[in-house]
Amino acid sequence: MRKCLRRMLLLFFLLAASRIWAQAGPPFQTDDPTPVDLGHYEAYVFGTLDGTPAELDPVGPAFEFNWGAIPNIQLHAILPFGAVLPSNNPIYAPGGSGSSAYGLTDMELGVKYGFIKQTAHRPQIGSFTMFEIPTGSYSKGLGVGKVWYKLPIWVEKEFGPWSLVGGLGYTVVPQTQYRNFLYGGFLVKREINKRLELSAEVFSHAREGFAAAQTEASTMIDAGGYYHFKSPGLQLLFAYGHSIAGQTENYAYLGLYKTWGKDKGAAQNMAAQTMHFF
């Protein structure tokens, strides 16, 4: 009996060591500064809807992959398909004009670097530099036509079941009728139970140019969360938001998330310590 109890406790410790909960980021516009753990992976299949009266830009299906490549560094990629649906309403001219189209949009590559780790007295701080690769058709309005960049800094602090995340970023878009612009957000997350987490965020951006749907600045409130299925590492992500100031804008996200991987060093160390204890 004692031997069986030891094995059950050992199994419990190993499973607890490998459990990963979602942070900020999808389904929200505010991201988090915490890279994927070394040797772990994340995959998303999702769709989004982001639009203003000038233009609607749905995305889907889109595929995201994150890899904890080295300690404190995550490699990131998104391959998105989407549409551009301009309103062609002269009130928004020269923005919101052109033909509708669907196809591959600009691919995203990124590197998340957590350069300050969270402790009891300080938050986690990190950068998440992203490179938007011009894989979408510029002539059809599905891509910018040049490489463009997102340069944010994010901060996170956890307090029991609560998480606070916020930050500020700058987007550089070297293309005509687009603008460089600031953006930022603040998110509050609460673990309701072992299956459900709920969050709300305030997210704001400056005007992005006449070639974008966001021809003017906007501030939004988004709400949503994460539902954890019984299958380990599998979650449903959902969010919806609407502007409260500036240009009218809607945002929505729906996706499936899966995480997996094994921290061999941590697992072996935990096993060795547990066996030594018994």
Q: What is the pLDDT of residues 205-247, one digit of tens each?
A: 999 999 999 999 999 999 999 999 999 999 999 999 999 999 9
Give the position of tokens 């982001």: 50
Greater confidence, 199 or 21? 199
Indicate if the pLDDT at residue 273 is higher than 90. Answer: no
When the pLDDT of each residue in the chain is averaged and rounded to a whole number, the result is 89
Provide CATH code, domain 2-277. 2.40.160.40
278/172 Cα distance (integer angstroms): 57
Indicate if the pLDDT at residue 43 is higher than 80. Answer: yes
For 161, left (φ over 0), alpha (ψ -120 to 50), or beta?
alpha
Residues of the chain with pLDDT > 70, as a percent, come to: 86
Q: What is the pLDDT of residues 51-98, one digit of tens each?
A: 999 999 999 999 999 999 999 999 999 999 999 999 999 999 999 999
Residue 259: both structure tokens together: 């995480």
Q: Are 111 and 129 in contact, with CB atoms under 8 Å apart? A: yes
Mean pLDDT of the 33-58 span:
97
Q: What is the pTM of this model?
A: 0.86
CA dist 225 → 159, 190, 222, 230 (Å): 18, 9, 10, 16
22/32 Cα distance (integer angstroms): 10
